[in-house]
Structure 1
Amino acid sequence: MKYSLHLIWLLAVLISPQLHTAQNYAQHGMVVSDNEIASKVGVEIMKQGGNAIDASIATAFALAVVHPAAGNIGGGGFMVYRPKAGDVTTIDFREKAPLAATPTMFLGPDGEVIKGLNHNSALAIGVPGTVAGMALAHKKYGKLPWKKLVQPAIELARQGIPLTYALSRDARGIDQWDDAPAFLKQLFTENGKVLEFNENWKQLALANTLDIIATRGHNGFYKGEIAEQIANYVQREGGIITEKDLNQYEAIERKPIHGTFNGYDIYSMPPPSSGGVTLVAMLNLMEQADVEEIPFNSTAYTHLLIESMRRGFADRAQFLGDPDFNEDMPLDRLTSKSHAVMRFKNIDMDKASVSDPSTYGHPYDGENTTHYSVIDSDGNAVSVTYTLEQSYGSGMGSNELGFIFNNEMGDFNPQPGVTTTSGQVGSDPNIIAPGKRMLSSMTPVIVSKDNKPFLIIGSPGGRTIINTVYQTVLNATLYEMDLHDAIESMKIHHQWLPDVTYYERHKLSPDVVKNLEEMGHTMTPRNVLGRLMGISIDQQTGIRTGVSDSSSPDGAAVGY
């Protein structure tokens, strides 16, 4: 009877009336994610009495089924939680290096990085953290039973979902990719045939894995048969993860990075995410400029953005890494107003600065992460960004387990002491070490005003995440844009090295581009920067506005 009731609930989620869009409004709870079904799952949990943490957990597991490019139980990420009452906190469930990892594990006999080894091999798989992170969040702040939160994902995997147009495009692309990993090659097939748009897509092995997790919680993934199967699979493929790595993995609750900007409080992730520190540092720097005299999207404004990003990412590369391995990171100094004053003084408003690879740089980040934002009827707010690294992670997975593994080891600095103009960094804070968490760009953010939640925001996009979120926060808090305009407005990206500014094609004036090039900036167009998922809260009425970035084909804002 239990499963028939869940099946009835699942059918209600799949065929409920289309009362939501990429932009939606609600009086009570809201979930905005990269997939409509996952957003609905989170909202249904809140309707059944769950809080924002419960909804975020259910959404995470649902995304692991319906959004395999980035939704995951084989990856990791970060959660920022702002309760209605009490202190803001964060949960770090970033992946870790296996205990057998070494600083030079990706180098050949010549001391150079072996091309592709730190991204496209089993050695690139970090110890996954998602299940541990969700379990810790539930233990400390959840309300409904754990199994109730995982069960919707089980039913989605077992009963199947209609293959969306975006997933069907992925399926065709993978089918035509001759060198696709074996697991990825069969992910969207049935009886040897590639599934097509709107056909029912089942994932029975994943359903069985989720069933064990639903029954046994954290230990269901990190101990016992699943842990054994993970270790056996990874080692068989040439990786180094062991059962001991999994047995010892724990998510960590950490104090958030807190900054202020224009009368707003900014809360985001501390290291091993670089997002919070870099975001606050850049906002502090922007506070030094007389932006009211600088027209939005003008040459001067865009130049100022680039220079603030250049300095934020320079500090990021030099100082940030896993805090458990870097006790002397100067976080207070980097996020201070005085540091911004010093940094602002050497900005020349008439020409571009020079990025010096002998001193600064950035680590590599993949670009297929996913973000979702949640608020419940009581005002508890959750901002979650989690990832597999690249799109579909390593592409590797066990047929018995049914999920894709990350390739996050590529986020470490692969060659100690070597920083290049192409963007490779060799600074000490992010060098590989056993049990170390790799540096990340993920930037889940909660902004509050007068001690009330104002904005819940985040984005995928690898190295571009920080800057995409940065500009959206600026748009909403400084320029008072509504959330839709804040998300859809022009975005640029500069990360110190390589010394290139990316900008969204057709959103920046050709005259501005020409002016910036004459000032010494290298300008390169991109079709899209980021895929933001956000919720804003009207400070007078409490109405929630949810917006899914137009670049997300399956994204949806769902509320009630």
Structure 2
Amino acid sequence: MKDYFFKNIALGCLMLLFLLTTSANAQTFAENGMVVSDHVIASQVGVDILKKGGNAIDATIATAFALAVTHPEAGNIGGGGFIVFMKSTGEVTTFDFREKAPLAASPTMFLDEKGDIKDNSNHKGLLAVGVPGTVAGLYKAHQKYGKLPWADLVKPAVKLAKNGFTMSYGLYNAAVRMTDRDPSEDIMQNFFKGKDGQIVLPGETWKQPALAKTLKQIQKQGRDGFYKGEVAQEIEDYMKANGGIITKEDLEKYEAVEREPLKGSFNGYDIYSMPPPSSGGVALIEMMNLMEEANISEIEFNSTTYVHLVAEAMRRAFADRAEFLGDPDFNPDMPLDRLLSKDFAKKRFENLDMTKASASDPAKFAHPYGGDNTTHFSVVDKDGNAISMTYTLENSYGVKMGSSKLGFIFNNEMGDFNPVPGVTTTTGQIGSDPNLVAPEKRMLSSMTPTIVAKEGKPYLVIGSPGGRTIINTVFQTVLNVLAYDMRVDRAIEAMKIHHQWLPDQILYERNLLSPDTRDALEKMGHTLRPTTNIGVLMGITYDASKKLYTGASDSSSEDGGARGY
């Protein structure tokens, strides 16, 4: 009993020390390069690569692998994501390494004999796992644009996993929550535990030897270290033993894709974002076009008119998302040119009533209008190359399953497909054709890595996690910087709302929307629902006159931070 008492006193002191020594995530300044991520250790890893002569691609790869060690909630080698890359020449490209459906997948794979979703199988269990894309995407980006040797970029992550790093208070809290879950979710039961079988305490060193071994294979063999050989064999064996359908053939066939970015504009700024299978770029540019048409800069920020207009823009973009968007390799006729056009936004604005809320009809999509867990980081280097990268496991810790021999957690991205063909409901379940399950198809995503440029140079590099809220979180932050001239840290912290067409409601950050505004919005026909926080943004701005980068991470990220030099 005495030992238990003193152990808890010591833990309390450690937690107090962490709280006292952790400052709010304010602005960070640098002249030569910067990385802003969800973990300061990973940010420092990226900056160290920049200092060694690496470019933004190199720093991105090192940061991403480091986050797979330090931020297992979303940093990953078991998931997938997107990169938007703006070169110092002003050219922009993207890398799509979104997960794919396995070869054995089908449109009705999650349904029972009555046509209902069986046991939440599109989110829980190994049927929910898409073929991972992260390693392939990072390797493809490196092969084309990297500067330093691949092995040097993976090395810091191998070292972090093998030698360990200090357990933070935030990660410890997550460890306690996850270890208390269903024992059948095997890997999570021991994931955060040390040799004594107890969860590693804040201030102590947490080591991940199995993950270090897997990362070592990737360090030595590149892409093949994950998609072939002993890692691929163990993935197949684990899937077969636990009800999954991913095979070595699925892994070997997986390829990342370099795609042309989407480009929009707002009041003289160029906006570059991710094309489908991300829906984020389309929705972002659609909404920014509507804001330009509405002359949003003349509307008081956070006013009733502002919230109404922003919510109505969101409603329309998400209705289009549901009706039209999916994997471009399976949907070649998506009307992207129309959705992104200024004329389309003009017609949309003419049909928007500034005095009352529109209706969200699951049977009509956007026709009446005339038209969780992820992580993001931003990187810039001394030459002006910029990266906005978002990657994900879907839910926090993905499917919460994985082989203890490999040490990483699998995604549950198959839940991003439309689960029941033809059925769209008022609760937000979508059943339209473009995003139904098919073998080797990439599921629709909300990730919105974005770079805003001014006169051919990166001006704002931004992104966020948050499931479907990602699109609207990034949209509002871009709007804050471009329309309201906010500093990047204030734009990140400013009040956010979220409307996704269905369910028909405005989600708003509690205590950041006044009672009078809420009352006025309800009288206009809006339904409001409070939440604690929307998004975890990581952003960088560039002041060309001062030749100075400014970075900021969302204060809701307990371990996040900007690092520069």
Normalised by the length of structure 1, the TM-score is 0.95
Large movers: runs of 4+ above 6 Å: 17-20
Structure 2 CA distance, aligned partners of 1:459 and 1:18? 22
Distance 1:179 1:359, change over 3 A: farther
Q: By how many angstroms is 1:447 displaced?
A: 0.3
The whole-number CA distance in structure 2 between the counterparts of 1:490 and 1:389 is 24
CA distance in 1, matches of 2:180, 2:75: 23
Name the structure 2 match of 1:382: 387
**Which moves more between the two structures, 459-468 or 285-294?**
285-294
Report the equivalent of 1:78.
82
CA contact (8 A) 1:360 1:419 kept: no
Confirm whether residue 250 of structure 1 aligns to residue 265 of structure 2. Answer: no
Query: How big is each residue's C-alpha offset from its partner over 1:254-278, in whole Å with a ceiling of 9 and x where there is no partner?
Result: 0001000111000000000000001
Q: State the one-letter code of the partner of 2:421.
A: P
Counterparts of 1:431-470 in structure 2 under 5 Å?
Answer: 431-470=436-475
Q: Matches of 2:184 and 2:75 in 1, distance apart?
A: 19
CA positional deviation for 1:112: 1.0
Partner of 1:543: 548
Mapped to 1, the partners of 2:461 and 2:245 lie a distance apart of 37
What is the TM-score of this pair, normalised by structure 2?
0.94
Contact in 1 for aligned 2:26/2:489 (Cα 8 Å)? no
Aligned to 2:17: none
1:223 maps to which of 225, 228, 236? 228
Identity of aligned residues (%): 62
Contact conserved, 1:70 with 1:386, CA < 8 A, in 2?
yes
Structure 2: gaps (5+ residues): 1-20, 367-371
Matching residue's letter, 1:386: Y
Following the alignment from structure 1 to structure 2, what is the Cα–Cα distance between the partners of residues 496 and 390?
21
CA distance in 2, matches of 1:195, 1:41: 23
Does structure 1 retain, via aligned residues, the 8 Å contact 2:297–2:483?
Answer: no
Give distance in 2, aligned partners of 1:380 and 1:178.
Answer: 45
Distance, in Å, in 1 between the alignment partners of 2:526 and 2:520 is 9
List per-residue Cα deviations over 1:7-51 (Å, max 9, x = no partner).
xxxxxxxxxx99995420001010000001000000000001100
Q: Is the 8 A contact 1:180 1:395 kept in 2?
A: no
CA distance in 1, matches of 2:63, 2:172: 22
CA distance in 1, matches of 2:94, 2:184: 36
The match for 2:151 is 147
Contact 2:90 2:456 in 1 (8 A): no
Q: Secondary structure at the match of 2:484?
A: coil
Contact 1:81 1:381 in 2 (8 A): yes
Structure 2 residue 214 is the aligned partner of structure 1 residue 209: yes
Distance between the aligned counterparts of 1:179 and 1:497, measured in 2? 34
Partner of 2:509: 504
8 Å contact from structure 2 (residues 362, 426) kept in 1: yes
The 1-side partners of 2:216 and 2:123 are apart by 30
1:325 Cα deviation (Å)?
0.2
**Contact 1:318 1:359 survives alignment (8 Å):** no
Retained in 2: the 8 A contact 1:278–1:316?
yes
Aligned to 1:335: 340
- Residue 344 of structure 1: CA displacement? 1.1
Using the alignment, how far apart are the partners of 2:474 and 2:201 within structure 1?
35
Equivalent residue, structure 2, for 1:368:
373
For 2:295 and 2:471, how far apart are their aligned partners in 1?
23
Q: Which amino acid aligns with 2:351?
A: N
Cα distance in 1 for residues equivalent to 2:225 and 2:271: 36
Equivalent position of 1:557 in the other structure: 562
Query: RMSD across aligned C-alpha pairs, in angstroms?
Result: 1.3
User: What's the CA shift for 1:175?
Assistant: 2.6
The equivalent residue for 1:132 is: 136
SS at match of 1:153: helix
What amino acid does structure 1 have at the position aligned with 2:283?
A: T
2:313 is the alignment partner of 1:301: no
Aligned length: 539
Deviation at 1:288, TM superposition (A): 1.2
**Shift of residue 176 of structure 1?**
2.4
Structure 1, unaligned stretches of length 5 or more? 1-16, 362-366
Contact 2:308–2:521 (Cα < 8 Å) also in 1: yes
In the TM superposition, what is the alpha-carbon distance from 1:236 to its structure 2 partner? 1.3
Give the match for residue 12 of structure 1: none
Q: Secondary structure at the match of 2:394?
A: coil
Question: Against the structure 1 CA distance between its residues 144 and 18, is the aligned structure 2 distance closer, same or farther, given a 3 Å change threshold?
Answer: farther
* Counterpart position of 2:58: 54
